[in-house]
Structure 1
Amino acid sequence: MNLNWIYTGISWLLLRWHDLWGKVVPEDEVLGTHWSWVLGIVFLVITIRIVLFPLFVKQIKSQRAMQALQPQLKELQSKYKNDRETLQREMVELYRKEKANPLMGCLPLLLQAPVFIGLLHVLRRIRPDNVYEANQWLYGWDPDYWFSALNAHVFGAPIWGTFLTSADQLEGTGSSPLTVKLVSGILVLVMTATTFLTTRQMILKTGWNADPQQRMIQKLMLYGIPVMLLFSGGIFPIGVILYWVVNNGISLAQQMWVLRKYPPPQNPTATNTPPGKKAPKPGSKKHAEMLKEKQERAKALAPKVGAKPVNRKKGGATRGASK
């Protein structure tokens, strides 16, 4: 599959933002950083997130619709547990009727994946041992851009460097292996932490699912993906890790806004007790706090009281209304 159009599109956005910021910030290093390239990556993320924001809102709405349908889905599963064909047909009809799309929850993430892969491919080809004339003209680049990126630094570490970059590869760059490992290691830790916090924020709002399979998926997303990133982050260029960190920061801010604007429905099968932890004992302080939280939730969901009921005469006229 030819992905050159993705690499060219990502390069075009990155280079345009680099050109724009090159007119604003100094070309030389400030605090060991070439800010035109760093800000180019940051605003590449912002551009992608703005383009995908309408889909992000649709994703949240679809998730809310799916959560609201859980009781009906369980009822269908119980009713047609021995007839999978009818079950699938009834579930599709329910999704159509309620305008819920189970695939919408994955769409924004799937659309961001090509951007990440494109930036990874583009930055990985910029290395001192890859100085070929044909390579410098790929994807809309030219030798000026190529050598500028080759010599660009983030707090003293080359933007193309990784945690595993050797001293031989860094020869002549003005960077030490210790500096590269330090910058890359810190960014990998921040990337891992923000990935964990982004998932945790969503789970705490919706609650841990009581269904074992769904809870296993939640646990995999909360713990498995950050652990995978922690151990695989060493192969990513520093510029790519920076992209991921900025993307996670924007995701956290967007989720906070969306969760306030579109609060999740209460899931009767969910619990706030994380997997592996026991529920608090009755009579304990934590148990009292849990009960208080449940009461506050129930109060928030209960209909407003205090309004006087409207009495109507036969025929529908309101008592006391003008004749």
Structure 2
Amino acid sequence: MKDDRQNFVLFAVFAALILFGWPLIQNKFFPTNPPATKIVDGKQVPVPNPANYPTATGPAATRDRNVVLAETPRVRIETPRLRGSINLKGARIDDLVLIDYKETVAKNSPPIRLLSPAGAPDAYFAGFGWRTDGLQPPAADTVWTASAPVLSPGKPVNLDATGPGGQRFRLTFSVDDNYMFTVRQTVLNAGAAPVSVAPYGYVNRIGVSKDPDSWTIHTGPMSVNNGSASYGPNFKDLAKGPTQFSTTGGWLGFTDKYWLTALLPDQSATFTGQFRAGANDAYQGDVTINPRALKPGQAITQSTRFFAGAKEVRLLDQYTDHEGATKLDYALDWGYFRFIEKPIFYYLDWLFSHVYNFGVAIILLTITIRALLFPIAQRQFASMAAMRAIQPRMKALQEKYKDDKVRLQQEVMALYKAEKVNPLAGCVPTLIQIPIFYALYKVLMLTIEMRHQPFILWIKDLSAPDPLTPVNLFGLLPFVPPHWAAIGVVPILLGISMYFQFKLNPQAMDETQRQVFAFLPWVLMFVMAPFAVGLQIYWITTNCISILQQRLLYARHPGLSTPVAK
């Protein structure tokens, strides 16, 4: 009896650690959910610098974006998926909107703005030029001459300027139907002496990503260099000094949870990449192609591609597999389980293409997984039945050898061998489910295809936590519950389904174990509440299938449901 009390106290302490310590663990290792907000008008409210690079510096003050955009001449960008403009002063792509994606689930929500000009809020832009080592390219405030007023797929635009040294410079911008720009940088040496030509490109942003950087999903600077993806440095690391690498093939840029900007120089050329921080919370990534000598009267052209858009899985795979963008698909931080996660995504996406509802697709995915695991579950229940049959003999051994732990272990192992029972067999389905569960978690949290996908009724976004909670009487009371206490309807259903599943499990003979299993569903309900509702739907479906499966297998193994003799 004393041991039971001690066990229960230990369990209570363990449960409290889970309940109150889990938020700390989640914030450290898992993507945090955004703080509680409301939607108004469709928006959610509440290193030394080399002289031959543009400066990674942000303005001390900001102005209205429309005012800033109107201050300089521009070339419009119009594609099936993008709207924006190129700033002719400095030849920057600094105005870009993704028309396929909205900021919130509200019908009147504005589209996602990815790039903004310097001096406007959340400035974020890309530019292209040449180093000044033996060359005099146009200055940063040069106003270039455009060959056309609009850039669109199949209709490139030339920007021309003449440098102080007499060389002529041309930037030819083209864009595809998605999010990839190509910039051809041409220099014509009209001088009397050879010059060294080293084109560069840069991406500059003010402020860190609004999406949290976590152990499972990286946001911030990233690159692919020397054959591998580098998810770093983090923004805070750049404050300690710049980072640099040299590679042939690869890219660098800034990644948010769903959005990406990336500079991709000629993948057969050797280039130097660099990340650094500047004044006023500015961060910059730049690439420089190794210099080449240009004789008088000759011209040289080198190309850099610039991706600015949504991290769509199929699109990134297409650029990687068919258009020579080295490992651009690694912009999605799949992690070590990508060999499981990507097939699950593609299967889930295939289901969605047939049922047009990702919630239903998740349910069908769950049924598929449970069907594949059914033979293993049968062996699990058979093992549980055998374990239950020998419980009286196990109890007798525990009483007989309670003062001799070594002998007790030997006798128990002998009993297992004689009865051909494997006590670990029941753990196999659970162990198999862990990587599948984690893979689905990553798919829901990582892929933009799940963003803002509705299910039924009040569930408008399967990648976000359940917004409906009885804590404030489903929104009737005028307050927003604390993040840890906002238990939604779906997590409550998860706890209930888990409770009934545990009720069908063979009852343990030990009283403490019975108390643990009675309390565990409600602990896990709190643990799972902040996760994506799509993940909770997966778990609820799994529990419901398990209940049906247990009913079926109880009929095949009657001994499993028979109370154990005392």
* TM-score, L = length of structure 2: 0.35
Query: Residues 155-194 of structure 1: matches in 2 within 5 Å?
Result: 155=456, 156-163=459-466, 185-194=488-497
Q: Residue 564 of structure 2 aligns with which residue?
A: 267
Residue 200 of structure 1, CA deviation: 1.1
Aligned equivalent of 1:85, options 376, 387, 406: 406
Q: Residue 237 of structure 1 aligns with which residue?
A: 532
Residue 262 of structure 1, CA deviation: 0.8
**Unmatched runs of 5 consecutive residues or more in structure 1:** 27-34, 127-145, 166-176, 179-183, 270-323
Q: Do the aligned partners of residues 7 and 40 (structure 1) sit closer, same or farther apart at CA in structure 2, a change above 3 Å counting?
A: farther
C-alpha separation in 2, matches of 1:208 and 1:93: 21
C-alpha separation in 2, matches of 1:25 and 1:52: 24
Counterpart check, 1:216 vs 2:537: no
C-alpha separation in 2, matches of 1:44 and 1:7: 17
Aligned equivalent of 1:250, options 545, 561, 566: 545
Residue 250 of structure 1, CA deviation: 0.5
Residue 245 of structure 1, CA deviation: 1.1
Identity level (%): 27
Query: Residues 118-133 of structure 1: matches in 2 within 5 Å?
Result: 118-126=439-447
Counterpart check, 1:151 vs 2:448: no
C-alpha separation in 2, matches of 1:112 and 1:201: 20
Query: Residues 1-323 of structure 1: matches in 2 within 5 Å?
Result: 4-22=335-353, 24-26=354-356, 35=357, 37-126=358-447, 146=448, 148-155=449-456, 156-163=459-466, 185-202=488-505, 206-207=506-507, 209=509, 214-222=510-518, 224-263=519-558, 264=560, 265-269=562-566
List per-residue Cα deviations over 1:205-227 (Å, max 9, x = no partner).
x4563xxxx222122112x2221
List per-residue Cα deviations over 1:150-202 (Å, max 9, x = no partner).
2322235111111479xxxxxxxxxxx99xxxxx8221121111000111123
The answer as to whether partners of 2:507 and 2:514 remain within 8 angstroms in 1 is no
C-alpha separation in 2, matches of 1:81 and 1:230: 37
Considering fraction of residues, name the structure with more helix.
1
C-alpha separation in 1, matches of 2:563 and 2:527: 36
255-264 or 116-125, which deviates more:
116-125
C-alpha separation in 1, matches of 2:424 and 2:355: 43
Residue 63 of structure 1, CA deviation: 1.4
* Root mean square deviation of aligned Cα: 2.9
List per-residue Cα deviations over 1:240-287 (Å, max 9, x = no partner).
011111111101110110111111244112xxxxxxxxxxxxxxxxxx
SS in 2 for 1:153: coil
C-alpha separation in 2, matches of 1:198 and 1:185: 20
List per-residue Cα deviations over 1:35-74 (Å, max 9, x = no partner).
1x22331122122212221221111111111111122223
C-alpha separation in 2, matches of 1:72 and 1:20: 49
The answer as to whether partners of 2:340 and 2:436 remain within 8 angstroms in 1 is no
SS in 1 for 2:439: helix
Residue 99 of structure 1, CA deviation: 0.9
C-alpha separation in 2, matches of 1:20 and 1:189: 27
Relative contact order, higher structure (CA 8 A, sep 6+): 1
**Unmatched runs of 5 consecutive residues or more in structure 2:** 1-214, 217-333, 469-479, 482-486
The answer as to whether partners of 1:162 and 1:234 remain within 8 angstroms in 2 is yes
The letter for the 1-side match of 2:415 is L
Residue 76 of structure 1, CA deviation: 2.5
SS in 2 for 1:105: helix
Q: Do the aligned partners of residues 98 and 185 (structure 1) sit closer, same or farther apart at CA in structure 2, a change above 3 Å counting?
A: same
The answer as to whether partners of 1:7 and 1:119 remain within 8 angstroms in 2 is no
The answer as to whether partners of 2:444 and 2:534 remain within 8 angstroms in 1 is yes
The letter for the 1-side match of 2:502 is T
Residue 5 of structure 1, CA deviation: 4.7
C-alpha separation in 1, matches of 2:524 and 2:563: 32
The answer as to whether partners of 2:495 and 2:525 remain within 8 angstroms in 1 is yes
User: Could you say which structure has the larger radius of gyration?
Assistant: 2
The answer as to whether partners of 1:191 and 1:244 remain within 8 angstroms in 2 is yes
SS in 2 for 1:158: coil
C-alpha separation in 1, matches of 2:463 and 2:404: 55
The letter for the 2-side match of 1:188 is P
Residue 75 of structure 1, CA deviation: 2.9
The answer as to whether partners of 1:62 and 1:105 remain within 8 angstroms in 2 is yes
Q: Residue 174 of structure 1 aligns with which residue?
A: none
Q: Do the aligned partners of residues 46 and 10 (structure 1) sit closer, same or farther apart at CA in structure 2, a change above 3 Å counting?
A: farther
* TM-score, L = length of structure 1: 0.59
Tell me the matched-pair count. Answer: 216
Q: Residue 254 of structure 2 aligns with which residue?
A: none
